[in-house]
Structure 1
Amino acid sequence: MRAPRLLGMAAVVPLLAAGLMPATTAVADTAETAAPVQLLELTTSTGEATEVAEAGLEETTSAGTSGGTGVAPGLNERLATVARAASAGGVDPEADALLLTEPLEVDDFLVAGFTWTGADELPDGLDVYLRVRENGVWSEWYLNEASGAGRDDSVGVAGTEEFVTGGADAVQASVIGDAADLPADLQLALIPGQPVGEEVLEPENLDSVDAEPTAVATPEEAEDNLTSGLTAPTDVVTQAADDAAPQEGEPEPTEAATATTESAAASTGTSGGTSISPNLPAALAAATTAGSLPVPVITRAEWGANSSYMTWTPSYVTADHVIVHHTAGTNSYTSSQSASIVNGIYYYHAVTLGWGDIGYNFLVDKYGQVFEGRYGSTSAAAGKMVVGGHAYGANTGTMGISMMGTYTSVSPSSTQLTNVGKMAGWFLKRAGVTSATGSSNFTFKSTEKYKAGQTISLPVISGHRDVGYTTCPGDVGYSKLGQIRSTAQSQINAMGGSSNTKASNSRQIHLNNGWSGTASVVFYYGASTSTILAGDWNGDGVDTTARRDGTLFGFRNSNTSGDSLRTFAYGRAGDEVLVGDWDGNGTDTLAVRRGSTFYFKNSMNAGSADKVVVYGRAGDQVLVGDWNGDGKDTLAVRRGATYHIKNSITSGSADRVVVYGRTGDEAIVGDWDGNGTDTLGVVR
């Protein structure tokens, strides 16, 4: 059984006071304002129905016992709908309901999901349905099945798949089944695009609204290409990709012209014709195309991931299978809403379900926009992937990619399928897989379908239903796996193998893993004018290289020749660059120094600085190290033979001042005795 959720259910959970404020450095949708997650409680901690959960039954009962006298036209229509459903042997979420809320007016939300405690799955025969009102129109009723997802270590609570809307302002929930099977703490979470805190919707504060009867969404084959009905994304006009937006005490940028030209160049590449969502900051949109990625990928920083919600430490493992998913919902979202929807899914997975991060490695909307999901997914080394939470018991060794929308009765768009296939092919090629249409052995952790340690021959591109008892990625979505595999194979064929042949005007890098006079690894990376940096960019314990070209940075997660995994702009051409693990999460990132001001970044992405501090003097020499062994790198400044050491990324006085060596010495930093703390050395 998964651990119960510990987040309190007070009227408003003060996440804001706890410092969980959405990152101001990358706003997912400028039209979105921060709002609390709304919680609709349907059962108590003992599994008893709440007042809210039974309020809709009274209306249905009164309609059914009216004898046809004095019944409003709307109720006559409702009764007719019930009769049609009964004659067809179907289910009516109102007439057959064990629990039924009224149609309730709520604040706008983009993502919804049911959660409960006491069991990982809902009992057989107990089903939950949901319908929502978008733009004044009520949707069909949708069956919300248990997600079959979650962390392999069972951290978190049970819940349904995330239900995606195009912006809903009313909702109605139904539960069908036996009262004895009702789970404890069943609730419905309604998540806005910029969630902050949580608010329980009390019965006395709820308003019911009129709702016409609607049918239950049922599977049926749809036309192959639905792109004609989609609003085309709008191209972004690239602006200056300079350093952090000015923060308190920070001077205005002055070198925008150079950054504009270089950032625009960095954004070109194999785009696949996909535009970046127009709601993304233009300075960030320019940095989404990595040299080796087959399509632009909108990074976590770009869609506005709040790093405070990310509590799940990344773990990288060998991976050579792809699991394809869909979400659930109405499919009525616009391209400009996609980033906010991803943000809502992130909150649902990380906080509501208690996983500590989004479960998917990547998400692709119906417009073909690709979003980075789980932290570290784009920066994983070739042949590896950060373990996600997309398929319980089958997360380890797979990449999970989700098509945003419900594809039970309609088809994913051709652009969506193409970019899912390209991302799958990119991943498989780097894992050494030569056939996207083949199968290979896969060993499960533990699922309802397969025992822990059981090994089967699994298609290298599979649907979620292949590894668990779920209908995901929908009947129509599953039927499109052949098309995805075909595109993935084309991508594999199009990608050249890694080569250590010298590229034109590139730098030759010689690495030595021992103390012999011969290099252990030789490869080519960067231009002859590039500055080469080193760091552990993905937290796998292996340092690899990065290149700096003016304001542009690129990096790789393997010590081999090739293009940068991703290119982004940060800082100014004249800044001094520092490398360190500033937040102690096991990955190195960058900081730039301008005089005595330091701009720290906790991810290898463009955007504003995560922290800005003033320390020392403009003429000081700067050293980086973990001076107190807490796992976080901080600064020291050297002035002659005096060192001013700081144990936190803050302004203010030094925590320690030491005099060591001579003014003319060259200072070096290292953990010389292996005790976990860095100290000084000097070279004469």
Structure 2
Amino acid sequence: MTMSNIRGMRGFLASSIGVTCAAALMLPLTPSAVAANTRPAPTAEAATTAGDRPAPGHTESLPLEPLNRTRATPAAPEQGLPPKDVRRFSLIGVVWDNPDTELHGRVQVRTRATATGAWSDWQDVETHNADHAADPYTAERASGRVRGATAPLWVGDSDGVEVRVKAEPSETAALPTLPTGLRLELVDPGEEAPQPRPVTSRADAPANNLTADTAAASAVNAELAPLGALEIPALTAEQTRSELLTVGGADLTAEQQARPYIGPRPRIVTRRGWGANESWRERKFVYTKKVKAAFVHHTASGNGYTCSQAPSVIRGIYRYHVMSMGWRDIGYNFVVDKCGNLYEGRAGGVAKPVLGAHTLGFNTHSMGIALLGSHATSKPSAAAVKAVARLTAWKLGLFGANPRGKTYLKSGGSNLYAKGRNVRLNVISGHRDGYATECPGWQMYRKLGSTRSKAAELQGR
């Protein structure tokens, strides 16, 4: 791939990976070029043990039942399931037929721990998840496979479940109603596969049991790490600036050559590092032209995980996004755990402008960074907040964006801004700045000012 393939990208982003995996690495320049040659949506049992793929997980999908059918005059529709033995799972969510229908109501679950047999207290599941989605009118949104869904909730290793969903009044409905086709999704993310040694060349890939899809997902990071690498190593500020000047110096202005504003590259765990099964996603990578802004999110999946479990939580969310919700890949471009570890999200290359499905209406020319957890009332860890600053200082610096600055993005249509409107936003924004939502939670949102300052400082501004 040459610089002419991706207009507006800095020179160092050009890649030399086009000699192999050609079908998997055809890179469309704009979101509109994505429709052709995509993989059919996988079934819930699509994961199989092969090569370096993770050991198979599964998704058990259970239709919800009316809970108040015997009441003469129920106050509001209620659906759910009584206590039930199920296959082992660790992540839970509720989906329904129409992605444009919002669930106005309360979703609560109780789960039984596999290790102890004890039932948890009732836990609330975040219902407003429509705002984490592909933009309207894109091929991903119009695929016919997308469903409405709650946020996923991480509950740990469990083998029993009880759920209740109760409708509540809304501004758009005279009587409380529930969406049609409500189903409970119980996700087992599968075990992380043993990782063979890092690969140094494509010829080495078969010996390390890399599938074509895994090799393709790794090859787009080839300028940053060896093929098959489990992580992209951190660089010092000087090394990062040197890399930028060496590879892309001819495309930089005199001022940028004298003092490029870019933060040191942070360590990033690759998709292979967290155990992504690359057979689940669609094959092609989809790009926007540039990255002008970063939207910060939380996954609303709960804080009850350990950092050693973070790869499992990410695999669970990935499976939920693709298998249960019908997306082409995990929606976020990056994920950050409570220990400050950074993870590659949607496939396509961490240094490239990969089109995500994270901020409805504003996915073009932006990236989505999700803190793994819930931060409406719980403060994010200092390590996670620092990781967001490090990531934005580097990635925004690749595209010349000032973390303290503002930029304009054209809305693709959200509940705050009509389609086509040019909206002035902070270069580092919270999800709620583009869509009326609680995300990324007030406790994280209030940290964005200091995050902008730290990211700018890391860029040398």
Normalising by structure 2, report the TM-score.
0.68
1:141 to 2:112 alignment = no
Compared with structure 1, are the counterparts of its residues 486 and 171 closer, same or farther at alpha carbon in structure 2 (3 Å cutoff)? Answer: farther
Residue number in structure 1 paired with 2:279: 308
Residue number in structure 2 paired with 1:378: 350
Give the drift of 1:432: 0.9
Amino acid at match of 2:62: L
Amino acid at match of 1:150: A
Give the drift of 1:330: 3.0
Give the drift of 1:131: 4.0
Bigger helix fraction: 2
- 8 Å CA contact retained: 1:26, 1:303: no
1:117 to 2:69 alignment = no
Please, which of 127, 134, 153 is the counterpart of residue 106 of structure 2? 127
SS state at 1:181 partner: coil
Which digits, 9 at most, give the CA deviation of each residue in 1:10-51, with x for residues without a partner? xxx5744xxx53553154xxxxx5342111211xxxxxxx2x
1:176 to 2:166 alignment = yes
Amino acid at match of 1:297: I
- 8 Å CA contact retained: 1:26, 1:302: no
Compared with structure 1, are the counterparts of its residues 344 and 143 closer, same or farther at alpha carbon in structure 2 (3 Å cutoff)? Answer: closer
SS state at 1:337 partner: helix
Give the drift of 1:101: 2.5
Residue number in structure 1 paired with 2:243: none
Answer 1 or 2: higher relative contact order, Cα 8 Å, separation at least 6.
2
Percent identity at matched positions?
30
Which digits, 9 at most, give the CA deviation of each residue in 1:49-81, with x for residues without a partner? x2xx528x98xx9xxxxxxxxxxxxxxxxxxxx
Residue number in structure 1 paired with 2:156: 166
1:54 to 2:67 alignment = yes
CA distance in 2, matches of 1:287, 1:455: 35
SS state at 1:138 partner: coil
Residue number in structure 1 paired with 2:37: none
Give the drift of 1:485: 1.8
Residue number in structure 2 paired with 1:574: none
Give the drift of 1:140: 4.7
SS state at 2:460 partner: helix
Residue number in structure 1 paired with 2:48: 21
CA distance in 2, matches of 1:457, 1:398: 13
CA distance in 2, matches of 1:113, 1:450: 28
Residue number in structure 1 paired with 2:63: 41
Bigger strand fraction: 1
- 8 Å CA contact retained: 1:368, 1:416: yes
1:103 to 2:83 alignment = yes
CA distance in 2, matches of 1:403, 1:158: 22
CA distance in 2, matches of 1:7, 1:361: 20
Residue number in structure 2 paired with 1:273: none
Residue number in structure 2 paired with 1:88: none
SS state at 1:328 partner: coil
SS state at 2:375 partner: coil
Give the drift of 1:311: 1.1
Q: Which moved more, 1:298-307 or 1:138-147?
A: 138-147
CA distance in 2, matches of 1:414, 1:367: 9
CA distance in 1, matches of 2:326, 2:450: 35
1:298 to 2:269 alignment = yes
Amino acid at match of 2:107: V
Residue number in structure 2 paired with 1:417: 385
Give the drift of 1:389: 0.3
Residue number in structure 1 paired with 2:134: 151
- 8 Å CA contact retained: 1:23, 1:304: no
Compared with structure 1, are the counterparts of its residues 26 and 143 closer, same or farther at alpha carbon in structure 2 (3 Å cutoff)? Answer: closer
CA distance in 1, matches of 2:283, 2:268: 22
Which digits, 9 at most, give the CA deviation of each residue in 1:558-608, with x for residues without a partner? xxxxxxxxxxxxxxxxxxxxxxxxxxxxxxxxxxxxxxxxxxxxxxxxxxx
CA distance in 2, matches of 1:104, 1:288: 45
CA distance in 1, matches of 2:460, 2:83: 52
CA distance in 1, matches of 2:49, 2:298: 26
Residue number in structure 2 paired with 1:437: 404
Amino acid at match of 1:41: P
SS state at 1:308 partner: coil
Give the drift of 1:244: 4.8
SS state at 1:363 partner: strand
- 8 Å CA contact retained: 1:428, 1:492: no
Give the drift of 1:482: 2.0
CA distance in 2, matches of 1:247, 1:389: 32
CA distance in 2, matches of 1:362, 1:107: 30
CA distance in 1, matches of 2:460, 2:107: 44
- 8 Å CA contact retained: 2:63, 2:181: yes
Give the drift of 1:430: 1.5
Compared with structure 1, are the counterparts of its residues 390 and 287 closer, same or farther at alpha carbon in structure 2 (3 Å cutoff)? Answer: closer
Residue number in structure 2 paired with 1:72: none
- 8 Å CA contact retained: 1:162, 1:328: yes
Residue number in structure 2 paired with 1:474: 441
CA distance in 2, matches of 1:166, 1:484: 31
